[in-house]
Every structure is written in C-alpha cells, then in structure tokens.
Structure 1
Amino acid sequence: MKFLHVTRTLLAASVFLASGVILAGAAHADDTIEKFFGNYVGAGNATIADGDRRETRDLDVTVERFKNEGFTLKWITVIRDENGGRTGTDVKRREVEENFIPVEDKENVFVLSPKGGLFQKSELPNPLRGDAVRWAAIEDNAMTVYSLAISASGGSELQVYRRSLTDKGMAISFMRLQDEDVKVRMSGDLVRTK
C-alpha cells in the first residue's frame, strides 16, 4: 500500500512538472552540484526479481556543468554475461546523457531540460503520451534521479538512481518498480578518476 501511495504522489508530481507550470531558473544550485562534478568508474551487482537472477554491471558516471546552473549526467552501464564476462553474446551496453536545469522556487531540485533546437519548439515530456518524466534532487552528498513513466495499460514504472559521494568516489543504488513490484535492485561503488 505504501508503494501505491508513493506511486500516486510521484505521478501527480510528474504531471505537474510535465505541464510546464514549473520553470527553470535560480542560481542557488551552483555550490550544491559542483561537488559532484567529475568522472567515476566502478561496478555493481543487480538482483532481478523474475527468478532472482543476479547480474554484474560495470558502471561509468560523469557529472559536469550544463549551461549556467544545471548539470549533465552521463552514464554507461555494461551488463556482463551470465558468467560475469564481457565477451558473451548476452552482454548489454547502455549509454545515457541527460541535462538537468534548476526548478524555480525549489532549492536543489532539477528537472530534465526540455529537448528542442534552433528550429524546434522545446517541449517537456508528456507522461500521458508514454514519455518518462525525470527530475533530480540533491540532499547533502546524495544526488537522486527519479524517472516515472505511465505504461500503455495505465500502470507506472518508477526508477530511482541514488548517487552518494564517498571518500573515494561514489556509492550508487538503483531500484526499478513496476506499479508496486520491485523488479530490479542494484548497488555498487565507484572511484573518482577525475
């Protein structure tokens, strides 16, 4: 029941964010995000709910400045094969780059920057069309990125990425929920390389 309440609350927040009511702007974020800037590499272990399968994942994370007060988050995940190797036919690689901008009147909260271009109107994601809504919150030494999507059947998928600074770099945890069911849990440690 707790997950249902959380899912409904986050769904309402995502619709509010996607409606364009919140605008970016605010210089309060500079010091808060700068401590995360750098490159991090490491590994993690994931548990997949369907059959309690385990996976080893190589992780590469980069956090850098975006425009004046925002940040770019890049990450590469390599899911190793069932034997833990990187040469099998079932090795998977995923690379993501996202830009976040501060939310006006919400200290240390960022929203995914709308995509657009010189001849293209910038648009925020629309969860009712199947777009995922993403936002980030920074509290102390933890940066948490949320991604919420509405499935074709009206259910929800929530992904939560928490990256916490450590003495050597960063601890990372990830959880993916479909409706109220936890489908994937992952945790790992990364060292700062730059």
Structure 2
Amino acid sequence: MRAPAISRTISLALSMLVALTLLARAAAAADVADFVGDYTGSAEMLRSDGTLESRDMSVSISETRNGFNVSWTTVAFKHDGRVKEQAFSIDFIPTDRSDVFSAAMKRNVFGHEVQLDPMKGEPFVWGRIWGDTLTVYSLFIDDEGGYEMQQFDRTLTKDGLDLNFSRVRDGVPERSINTMLEKR
C-alpha cells in the first residue's frame, strides 16, 4: 500500500513542478529587443457625445546606449475637419527593480538622467515589461491636487503590437482605446 501513495506523491510533485515552470515562463518578461521596431495602426474612439473619432497611431521603439526609447504619435481627425497631432518621445533607463524602467526626461546639475517633478505639473513617467507587454505609465498632478493617470499597454503579437490605452482622472475612467499596430 505504501508504494502507490509514494507514486501518487511523486506524480503530484512532478505535476506541480511542471505547472510552476510553465507559470514562471509565462510571467518571464520579454526583452526590450523583442519590442524594437516601427508600428502603425488606426482606431475609432467613442467620444463622450456618442460620436466616433478616427485616430491614426504610430509607435517606434528602439534601444539606446543606456536603455530604450519609445516615441509615439497620435493624429486625431475631428468632425469639423481639424486634424490634431500629438507626438511624444521618452527615453527609459533600468532601475534597481527587474523589468521596471525610469523615464530619463531631463538631466540634473550633475548630468544624470532623472525623472520630471509631478509637483511642478510635470508628468511622472515610468515603464515596465511584464510578460509580453511593455507598459508606459504617466501620472499628472493638477494645480488642485487631483490626478490623471495614463497607461499604454503594448503587447507583442505575431503581427505587431496590441495597444490598450486608458486614461483615468481622479478615479474616473475618461477614455480608452484598443487597436492593433502592425509592424512595418
């Protein structure tokens, strides 16, 4: 009777080891090199008045000497014919935390790359790679002490990046966009 119990215990232990190995692989972060490239796409965003607004989007991810850069552009086509274009470019450098990156948006008096100061109305930006997703977070603190949080999740797919954007102001979701950006 003891042999079947030992056999079941060994089988259970091996099953748990296989499951833990698979979970560890799934949670293992992709390398920034996996994201490097130029991506484009478009999306329809539902406006608060119920109308749709077309947007063209592009992102370029490249490695730098000390980390990596994410540059992105959004072109919004307004119903009155106006076109609004916004472009951003941020360098990221590694931190002491694995797969967490600090935005290097300015240099201090010693020439070191540092974060901006959210208490001065500047965005506090950081990034992380979790699994196959590169996320860029931006925190803004307004003059009244309220906040806006933006999150860009860019998940690797076989054709490019699945982009999920969300913006929350003082705990209230304001906007979200999901689209596929194809690798050029």
- TM value normalised by structure 2: 0.77
Q: Which residue, 52, 57, 66 being the options, matches 1:59? A: 57
After superposition, what is the alpha-carbon deviation per residue over 1:21-78, rounded to whole angstroms, capped at 9, x for unaligned? xxxxxxxxx9610000001111122233x3244221111110001213x110011111
Aligned position for 2:123? 132
Q: Percent of aligned pairs with the same residue?
A: 29
Task: Give the match for residue 68 of structure 2.
Answer: 71
Indicate whether 1:165 and 2:162 are aligned: no
| 114-123 or 135-144: bigger deviation | 114-123
Match of 1:174 in 2: 165
- Using the TM superposition, give the Cα deviation of residue 118 of structure 1 relative to its aligned residue in structure 2, in angstroms: 9.0
Q: Which amino acid aligns with 2:54?
A: T
Relative to structure 1, the CA distance from residue 161 to residue 128 in structure 2 (aligned partners, 3 Å threshold; closer, same or farther) is same
- CA–CA distance in structure 2, aligned partners of residues 141 and 127 of structure 1: 29
Which structure carries more relative contact order (alpha carbon 8 Å, separation 6+)?
Answer: 1
Matches within 5 A, 1:2-151: 32-48=31-47, 50-68=48-66, 70-82=67-79, 88=81, 90-104=82-96, 106-116=97-107, 123-151=114-142
Q: TM-score, normalization: structure 1?
A: 0.74
Write the deviation string for residues 99-133 of structure 1: whole angstroms up to 9, x where unpaired: 000111x1111010141289967542111111110
31-40 vs 116-125, which deviates more? 116-125
Amino acid at match of 2:106: K
Structure 2 unaligned runs (5+)?
Answer: 1-28
SS class of match (2:35): coil
Rate the CA distance shift 1:122–1:35 in 2: closer, same or farther, 3 A. Answer: closer
How many residues align structurally? 156
Structure 1, unaligned stretches of length 5 or more?
A: 1-29
Find the aligned partners of 2:39 and 2:140 in 1 and give their Cα distance: 28
Q: What RMSD over aligned residues (CA atoms) do the two structures have, in Å?
A: 2.2
AA paired with 2:42?
A: A
The 1:165/1:92 distance shift into structure 2, 3 A limit, reads same
Tell me the SS of whatever aligns to 1:35.
helix
Q: Tell me which structure has the larger Cα radius of gyration.
A: 2
- CA distance in structure 2 between the aligned counterparts of 1:75 and 1:175, rounded to whole angstroms: 15
3-state SS in 1 of match to 2:78 = coil
CA distance in 2, matches of 1:170, 1:120: 34
